[in-house]
Structure 1
Amino acid sequence: MEIEVIDAQISPIGRMEVLSRAEAARLSDHGHGGLRETFRNCSLAVLNCGNQLDDGKELLERYPSFDVEIIQRSRGIKLDIKGAPASAFVDGKMIRGIQEHLFSVLRDVVYASNEINGYSGLHSTKFDLGSSDGVTDAVFHILRNAGIIDPVSQPNVVVCWGGHSISREEYDYTKLVGYQLGLRGLDICTGCGPGAMKGPMKGATISHAKQRINNARYLGFTEPGIIAAESPNPIVNDLVIFPDVEKRLEAFVRAGHGFVVFPGGVGTAEEILYVLGILLHPENTELPFPLVFTGPKSTEDYFRRIDSFIGETLGAEAQSRYKIIIDDPVAVAREMHAGIGDVRAYRKETRDAYYFNWQLRIEHEFQQPFRPTHENMGKLTLHKQQPRHLLAANLRRAFSGVVAGNVKNDGIREIEKNGLFELHGDPAIMGPMDFLLTSFVTQGRMKLGGRKYNPCYRIVGEASVASTIA
């Protein structure tokens, strides 16, 4: 079947109306130091909103003629778009939310190039990315540049994590939880994609309307590697693209006040391991950090397996940092509302900002970008002879590599070129990991719409079931 595409010229919506000549040149440059590929790929992902596709490589191949050019005018810029997915338009006019997202991409790609990564891919001179404080400062500036930092607002942001490939029952449950959160005046922040990232926002829009809340925020945090697999849903009214997954994860825990985890796959496990690794750091033991795992009755076994994996790898202290609430959206919302009240009281007492969690200690191990190559995946330190928060950091990297091999363009190409990733480690770690990953495969949590899953990893030294499933 022929794919319908549209050509259009789009004017800015938002804050990115003008570019310098140097910025426009880098956005048009195919060579070293150019931003063209990143901007093009992220733009296509935004325009692909609503289409059932979670394969970054396949998306690029499906729209080979897609292109976006900068038109410099005396009164500002326009985007000249060729071969865009027709689903982004209604009667030939681009949907406004998607148009806003397109210019959020432009804003963040340019800002990261100018301020975070430096020109031509060199290290930033403004931020010391080799230090923990420097990375945190960079994350803060990205959020501030995107207009996310609001010093006037009270703590009310609930971060909702969960899979893009979930059942209809699970999706409806996320909407019920979002509805109850919205009734209590809480805003929603997610990874901005479909499934458990869209459901809470959709539920909250109804309750915010009932409560006559006209300034509700639906924050979406993503990064260039994952955006094609999780195209931003149109409910998001503040989209931010971070340079890498590590800065994206830090933005969640710095900007959020409470956290709800719905059922998901490897990416959700990565997020859980990230946050638990941070909470296991000795300097974070006293910080209030509301964290709830929840789903409908049918997901009770799913969360039992997650809880068992955490207990077997990170121990009882990690298990004590969250609550599991099954099939009770009201209880989840009440837990979040009360927990965020504790966050507010603590930050008021310690004179910390409401809008950014400066006190949270994040080790540089959690901030360093991890490139999932075969060599790096094979060298991961997956044993218990290390502090638990560092074990969590390495487990997070392992799951991040599987995410890349599943859905990210670069990761998929790495697997096609060199075969499956191999994971080595302590049998006491690798056994539970294999069991958990296998359960994700059998439950259809790796790909959208029950699409066939071809594993990208092999667990060495264990009788791996997942690695043999085709």
Structure 2
Amino acid sequence: MNARVTPEGTMEVLSRHEVSLLKDRSKKGLYDLFRQCALAVLNCGNESDDSKSIMEEYKDFDIKLVNQPRGIKLQITNAPSSAFVDGEMIKGIKEHLFSALRDIVHANSVLVKSSEFDLNSSDGVTNFIFHQLRNAQILEAGTQPNIVVCWGGHSISRMEYNFTKKVGHELGLRGLNICTGCGPGAMKGPMKGATIAHSKQRNCNGRYIGISEPGIIAAESPNPIVNELTILPDIEKRLEAFVRIGHGIIIFPGGVGTAEEILYLLGILLHPANQKLPFPVIFAGSKENESYFKMIDRFIGGALGEEAQKRYKIIIDDPVSVAKEIKTGIEEVAQYRRVHRDAYYFNWLLKIDPLFQQPFQPTHENMANLQLHREQPVHILAANLRRAFSGIVAGNVKDDGIRRVEKFGPFEIHGDKTILDPLEGLLESFIHENRMKLPGKVYTPSYRIVN
């Protein structure tokens, strides 16, 4: 499809400098980044989690800025037809498109022009994330804590998907809003359930927040329920955005991406400065998922110890209990922030070690050099394990990671046998249960465990 579209919801005007950057196809420009994110948004509903194949399938896709006296328009060529109805772009997809434009332009503007953000410091990274979220109007002052972050896999069964909808429904009935990674599967299900529940309660202001990043968005295009989309520059800033704006987290079954999120979260909560900080975390699944969570629990206990296991609860086959438990936990969060005068809309008190904030580039050298041994603080071990899973995610679904694995072979992961053996067992179970990629293709591992 070819179309010329006007802004929907945001980003109606651009400076000449911003226009020139978005047209610049060199490494210094923003054209390639915006084209990649725009294609991901327009590809909504098409079932593929291979960003490399998506880019190749739509290699003729193009998007250009058109300056006009009344503002900007986007000239789109050879876009996925699923983004249109009777020749008109779907309104929600148009909103997502201009949200991507807004976030890319703002991130570049802040990073290039501002001297306030030292991205080599922890405070600098957090402040940058705050400004990105504020510019996207994600941060709402004057409201009680009510945002539940839902994590889980994009490649899940229909039974698992239906369970996430039931949990989302119970959350919505209790006036809670949903934030996910914005893609399909366990990211879409809770939003769909909450949408119906909000309608039952005549809640016309339900929030369905989607947080993504350029490397993953092509593999996990924003689902159509998302009404507040924001794109952070990398996976580390995306993960920090989740824990800064969320008031509680529910984790559904998933694969390596979900394991990465779990290790990120537990690594932060295990930091000595966060020991007394209330942060409700629930692992939720149906009866058929009980063995999955027992496996995850064993892995966490073996790798990180009992203290890590104390930071979450496992609730099986009971969506009502999940919703009640997370709401009670959020009430404790609200009380704690009132006492300590912390904002409801952004968790400033949470201490995050710089190792969780600095972008990890999943090259073969970096993956092989990960410090996976026990002679280090447990929250640092969690950070390094998180990076191992992040590299596997890149090799599975991200364009750059897929190309590296195709060229140089699987990533090698080295470390202590006591850590690598349970890690290998967990990864093999993900393969056996088709949790690495969407069904339809034989999965070839992007990694190799080296004892």
TM-score by length of 2: 0.99
Query: 1: CA distance between counterparts of 2:11 and 2:265?
Result: 33
Alignment of 1:138-287 (within 5 A): 138-287=128-277
Query: 2: CA distance between counterparts of 1:460 and 1:450?
Result: 29
- Paired residue for 1:373? 363
Query: 1: CA distance between counterparts of 2:382 and 2:365?
Result: 20
- Paired residue for 2:117? 127
Q: 1:445 aligns with which of 435, 442, 446?
A: 435
Query: 2: CA distance between counterparts of 1:263 and 1:440?
Result: 10
- Return the letter of the residue paired with 2:283: F
Query: 2: CA distance between counterparts of 1:444 and 1:18?
Result: 45
- 1:328 is the counterpart of 2:323: no
Secondary structure of the structure 2 residue equivalent to 1:221:
strand
Query: 2: CA distance between counterparts of 1:153 and 1:215?
Result: 12
Query: 2: CA distance between counterparts of 1:293 and 1:435?
Result: 20
| Unpaired stretches in structure 1, ≥5 consecutive residues | 1-5, 462-470
- Return the letter of the residue paired with 1:38: L
- 1:29 is the counterpart of 2:24: yes
Contact 1:444/1:450 (8 A) holds in 2: no
Contact 2:61/2:77 (8 A) holds in 1: yes
- 1:363 is the counterpart of 2:358: no
- Return the letter of the residue paired with 2:263: L
Contact 1:266/1:399 (8 A) holds in 2: yes
Contact 1:284/1:360 (8 A) holds in 2: yes
Contact 1:52/1:449 (8 A) holds in 2: no
Query: 2: CA distance between counterparts of 1:130 and 1:455?
Result: 33
- Return the letter of the residue paired with 2:45: G
Query: 1: CA distance between counterparts of 2:105 and 2:133?
Result: 14
Alignment of 1:335-414 (within 5 A): 335-414=325-404
What whole-Å deviation, never above 9, does each CA across 1:350-393 have from its counterpart, x for those lacking one? 11100000000001010000000000001000001000000000
| Unpaired stretches in structure 2, ≥5 consecutive residues | none
What whole-Å deviation, never above 9, does each CA across 1:118-145 have from its counterpart, x for those lacking one? 27xxxx5230111101100001000000
* Per-residue deviation, 1:32: 2.7
Contact 1:183/1:208 (8 A) holds in 2: yes
- Return the letter of the residue paired with 2:13: V
- Paired residue for 1:416? 406
- 1:51 is the counterpart of 2:41: no
- 1:97 is the counterpart of 2:92: yes
Contact 2:122/2:354 (8 A) holds in 1: yes
Secondary structure of the structure 1 residue equivalent to 2:439:
helix
Secondary structure of the structure 2 residue equivalent to 1:236:
coil
Query: 1: CA distance between counterparts of 2:234 and 2:32?
Result: 15
Query: 1: CA distance between counterparts of 2:39 and 2:444?
Result: 25
Query: 2: CA distance between counterparts of 1:312 and 1:41?
Result: 39
Query: 2: CA distance between counterparts of 1:294 and 1:136?
Result: 29
Query: 2: CA distance between counterparts of 1:152 and 1:39?
Result: 33
Secondary structure of the structure 1 residue equivalent to 2:78:
strand
Secondary structure of the structure 1 residue equivalent to 2:178:
strand
Query: 1: CA distance between counterparts of 2:217 and 2:37?
Result: 7
- Return the letter of the residue paired with 1:18: V
Contact 2:10/2:95 (8 A) holds in 1: no
Moved >3 Å (runs of 4+): none
* Per-residue deviation, 1:454: 1.0
Query: 2: CA distance between counterparts of 1:432 and 1:58?
Result: 32
What whole-Å deviation, never above 9, does each CA across 1:136-176 have from its counterpart, x for those lacking one? 00010000000011111110000000000000000000000
- 1:79 is the counterpart of 2:69: no
What whole-Å deviation, never above 9, does each CA across 1:228-266 have from its counterpart, x for those lacking one? 110000100000000000000000000000100000000
Q: 1:110 aligns with which of 80, 98, 105?
A: 105
- Paired residue for 1:298? 288
Query: 2: CA distance between counterparts of 1:176 and 1:59?
Result: 32
Contact 1:292/1:325 (8 A) holds in 2: yes
Aligned length: 451
Root-mean-square deviation over aligned CA pairs: 0.7
What whole-Å deviation, never above 9, does each CA across 1:52-84 have from its counterpart, x for those lacking one? 100010000111110000001111000000000
- 1:313 is the counterpart of 2:314: no
Secondary structure of the structure 1 residue equivalent to 2:20:
helix
Query: 2: CA distance between counterparts of 1:430 and 1:252?
Result: 28
- Return the letter of the residue paired with 1:131: S
Query: 1: CA distance between counterparts of 2:27 and 2:409?
Result: 28
